[in-house]
Amino acid sequence: MIVLITGGASGLGKSITEKMAQQNDILVYFTYHNSLESANDIESRYKNTRSIYCNFNDMGSVMELIKKIGEINLDVIVNNAFAGKIEKQYFHKTDLSVFTNSFKSNIEPLITLNKEVINVFRKKKSGKIITILTSYLINRPPTGLSEYVAQKAYIHSLTKSWATENGQFNITSNCISPSIMLTNLTSDTDERIIEEMISKHPLKRLLEKDEVANTVVFLSQVTNHMNGANIIINAASDVV
């Protein structure tokens, strides 16, 4: 099996890359941007990994990645990369540019990349698309995260379209929606808030990155009858 993981050198992406690489029958390609040292470390420890530089804020860099898609005979793509930062602001105070810039950095590259991936999968008549979301927030959007939640709702809708349009070609499109984890994206969260989340959590601990990575491995190997699903990992409780 040949897998591509976007944003696979840091945070959750690194855990997914390492978990995939522990499967000896998988060749793992992963992209990195600001994590060259981490990418080199992964390659040194796992001989079945290959790093690819990609800046998702630069469409030229994304197009260079797309050129490689047809060359590596891809079986699975894991959409994990997130460009920019999470804007924390009330909707009525958020400038329009925040929405348009986020779309340009996170939605356009995702669309462009997966169009090419789906074309490759259709020719092969097989393939799996796995997308990391936090779409459980869509029904209960936290205050001040309107742009981020809207972005995830858009991506979630896209992934369902990929599932319905391509199932006849043995292509699946599934999502994973993890609850809050301690990663680079949440590193600026006040420790008191983290402690409160843990105290209210039914398991008295936050989700671990490896737990999500295990679910990615599961979806990469599961039957094609599982298509269009969104696996929510939040211990039956929204803790954000």
Give the domain ranges of the chain: 2-233
The CATH superfamily of 2-233 is NAD(P)-binding Rossmann-like Domain (3.40.50.720)
Mean pLDDT of 170-196: 75
CB 69 within 8 A of CB 52: no
pLDDT of residue 217: 96
Cβ neighbours around 170 below 10 Å, total = 15
Q: Is the pLDDT of residue 191 over 80?
A: no
CB 9 within 8 A of CB 80: no
Q: Give CA–CA dist 59/129, Å, rounded.
A: 21
Contacts of residue 101, Cβ cutoff 8 Å, sequence gap at least 6: 84
CB 83 within 8 A of CB 56: yes
Per-residue confidence at 148, pLDDT binned at 50, 70, 90? confident
Q: Is the pLDDT of residue 84 over 80?
A: no
Tokens of 116: 């090419």
Residues written for the chain: 240
